[in-house]
Amino acid sequence: MLFKVAMTVRLPHDMPRAQADELKSTERAVAQQLQRDGTWRHLWRVAGRYANVSIFDVADADELHALLTALPLFPYMDIEVEALCRHPSSIHDDDR
């Protein structure tokens, strides 16, 4: 199943720089591994915002929930999830 996930990062302003850098570094490693695995299909920065729009390919909403809540930045993100299904006019056969 494909899901569109919009994440907005809201790190506390008083978080020490070293802690923020460590969180971002760990998040990056996790995100890149999930991309290599094919689970995190797309990761796009939203221009002008500390936010991203992503496409995840997972078995179901339970798997997505487990994955998102395990992200290092999860406690500091607002996350919106939308389930996707195939568009009848799509010419791509990998968008399922």
Ligand X SMILES: O=C(O)CC1=CCC(=O)O1
Q: Does 6 bind ligand X (CB under 6 A)?
A: no
Question: What CA–CA distance (Å, rounded) separates 34 from 63?
Answer: 13
Question: What CA–CA distance (Å, rounded) separates 78 from 6?
Answer: 8
Whose Cβ is closer to ligand X: residue 15's or residue 90's?
A: 15
Q: Does 34 bind ligand X (CB under 6 A)?
A: no
Whose Cβ is closer to ligand X: residue 80's or residue 86's?
A: 80
Q: Does 5 bind ligand X (CB under 6 A)?
A: no
Q: Does 28 bind ligand X (CB under 6 A)?
A: yes
Nearest-approach distance from CB 79 to ligand X, in angstroms? 10
Question: What CA–CA distance (Å, rounded) separates 71 from 74?
Answer: 5
Question: What CA–CA distance (Å, rounded) separates 58 from 3?
Answer: 8
Q: Does 79 bind ligand X (CB under 6 A)?
A: no
Q: Does 27 bind ligand X (CB under 6 A)?
A: yes
> Do 73 and 8 contact (CB within 8 A), yes or no?
no
